[in-house]
Every structure is written in structure tokens, then in C-alpha cells.
Amino acid sequence: GEQVEQRPPHLSVREGDSAFIICTYTDSATAYFYWYKQEPGAGLQLLMSVFSNVDRKEEQGLTVLLNKKDKRLSLNLTAAHPGDSAVYFCAVNTNKVVFGTGTRLQVLP
Amino acid sequence: NAGVIQTPRHKVTGKGQEATLWCEPISGHSAVFWYRQTIVQGLEFLTYFRNQAPIDDSGMPKERFSAQMPNQSHSTLKIQSTQPQDSAVYLCASSLEGLGGYEQYFGPGTRLTVL
């Protein structure tokens, strides 16, 4: 079945810096991709969804890149602020949604 | 729109007791998903309903776990004879339709602690 690897597991950046998270997946037929944010004690908040016909998507300081050839999905948070501190998950959807292992992001003031 | 509602938020049970977790999907959503989240295993898919019918329960432990969706406004996950290894956060999500690209929206989760 689909395997998703996410890295780094932990990331610490200064306020105003960028934070970059990457996921790799195995099933080339995967068509739908998502990024979620989870704050302590909360569920997963959908940040962005990307379909396989899109290579790049930007929304509100977030940039998602999809490289289908390399089966790689990335999230870049530009100008991070302390409120961005959370755990971030990628997810891919073929016939089932499979989540990455999460990246704990800490944004230091 | 209240989002996905899960109750209770926290539940503590003794080993061997039963736990029932509730999920109310977003109004108008036809699909409900259950996941389990632990530090060790991460996010694991448990089961999925569409239009109240069970579609995929491949992630459900074969013993002690069961899920139902008696009507379009709620789903339950029941764990019989709870064991300490069942301790986890159980997350419910709903989507407009089933799989095939529809975005899943998550509830806040129920943290189950089995003593």
C-alpha cells in the first residue's frame, strides 16, 4: 500500500524565517494531496488541498509544491510567526487517505 | 457551521470497561471517517461510512471495536473490554462525499485513557 515519509520530524525557526517540510510517497497513481495543521489538544485543520494536475499552489503565506516525477510534496511557510507553531501533516489520497508522520514546528520570537 | 463535533472530549475508563465515542459530522456531509492517533503509530485509519453505509473497515481491530452510523447526523465508535493499548486520541472527520479528492474536516478528537 501507499507509504508516506515526512521530514523533518522537528523544525525550529526564528520568527520571519521560512519553514520547509517535505513528504515523499510511493504510489504514482495518487491524485490528491493535503496539508493539515494540528495545534495542541485540537483536531487537524485543513490548510491546503492540491490535485495532481497542479504543480504549485500559494495561499496566505503557504506554498505547496508537487513533483509527481519524484513523488514529492512540500510545504513552505514564508515569514513564519509564533502562531504557526504546531504539528503539520501531509496526507495523500488514492483509495484511502494516508498521513505522514508529522513535523513539529516551533517558531521562536 | 459548527464543524465536526466529537463527544466526550476526554474519557477515562478502567481496563475491561466499555467506551462509546460520538461524532456528529458537518451537516450535508455524506461521509464519515474514524482515525486513531498515538505517538507511536501516528494517524491510523479505522473505518469509513458513506451515506450511513460502512464502506471500508480495514483499519478496525477485529475484536472489541465496532462502529455504526444509525443516521446521517451521528456516528459512534464502540470499544468493548478496553485495554491500556486502546489509549489514544480518536479523531472523526467528515467530507462532502467519500474519497476521490473530497477534503476531510476533522473534529477536535476524543482522548481515551484506559487505566
Min Cα separation B99/chain A (Å): 7
Per-residue pLDDT reduced to its tens digit, A78-90: 999 999 999 999 9
- Average pLDDT of every residue of chain A: 93
β-bridge mates for residue A38, sequence order: A44, A87
Q: How many pairs of residues across A and B have Cβ atoms under 8 Å apart? A: 47
Cβ atoms of residues B115 and B84 within 8 Å: yes
**Cross-chain residue pair A32–B109, CB shorter than 8 Å:** no
Interface residues of chain B, partner chain A, Cβ below 8 Å: 4, 6, 33, 42-43, 45, 56, 58, 91, 93, 99-101, 103-109
Condensed to tens digits (0 to 9), the pLDDT of residues A25-82 reads 998 888 899 999 999 888 999 999 999 888 999 998 999 999 999 999 999 999 999 9
What residues contact residue B41 under an 8 Å CB cut-off, 6+ apart?
A: none
Question: What mean pLDDT comes out for the span A87-101?
Answer: 90
Cis peptide bond upstream of B84, omega within 30 = no
